């Protein structure tokens, strides 16, 4: 009976990527809590700092203008690990306000968005680095 070699997976590559820790700045948490508690903030855009060590607040707004928010995401720029600037990915939170169909008033839902354009140069696109 012939034996076969175990199937090689690329999980070790993914594991190596997780050793590059990125922390979350305390400002990210406090700003989110302000939005959550119904203070004046309507949306938050987060980014990875230029030194790639921390997630930081890039921008907030007190206006619930989705088109402005969307434009900010679409036009975001970031530096890759080599310092080259290009289209950038972002994390974002938007406080969506909507009317109930029953006419019972308005409600809010906090929505988390992970924005990563296909051509964002700072993110690895190598299929070998994706676990099975």
**What pLDDT score does 123 carry?**
57
How much is the pLDDT for 13? 36
φ/ψ of residue 129, rounded to 5: -95, 5
Report DSSP letters for the chain, one per residue: ----PPPP-SHHHHHHHHTS--EE-HHHHHHHHHHHTT-S--EEEEEE-TTSSEEEEEEEESS--HHHHHHHHHT-EEE-TTS-EEE--EEEEEEEEEE-TTSS-EEEEEEEEEE--TT-TTS---GGGS--
Tokens describing residue 17:
């990527």
Give dist(CA 122, CA 57) in Å, integer: 18
Alpha-carbon distance of 76 to 69, in angstroms, equals 11
For residue 61, the model assigns a pLDDT of: 97
Overall fold of domain 19-117? Severin (3.40.20)
Q: Encode the chain (132 residues) as per-residue pLDDT tens digits.
A: 454 444 444 333 333 344 467 899 999 999 999 999 987 999 999 998 888 889 999 999 999 999 999 999 999 988 877 778 888 889 999 999 999 988 889 899 999 999 888 777 655 554 444 444
Res 86: pLDDT: 82
pLDDT of res. 36: 94
């Amino acid at each position: 009976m012939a034996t076969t070699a175990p199937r090689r997976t690329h999980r070790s590559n993914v594991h190596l990527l997780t050793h590059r820790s990125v922390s979350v700045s305390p400002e990210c948490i406090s700003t989110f809590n302000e939005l959550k508690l119904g203070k004046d903030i309507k949306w938050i855009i987060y980014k990875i700092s230029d030194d790639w060590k921390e997630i930081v607040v890039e921008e907030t707004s007190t206006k619930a203008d989705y088109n402005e928010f969307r434009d900010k995401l679409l036009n975001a720029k970031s530096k890759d690990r080599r310092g080259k600037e290009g289209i950038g990915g972002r994390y974002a939170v938007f406080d969506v306000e909507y009317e109930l169909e029953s006419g019972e008033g308005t409600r809010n839902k906090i929505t988390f968005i992970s924005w990563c354009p296909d051509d964002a140069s700072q993110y690895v696109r190598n299929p070998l680095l994706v676990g099975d």
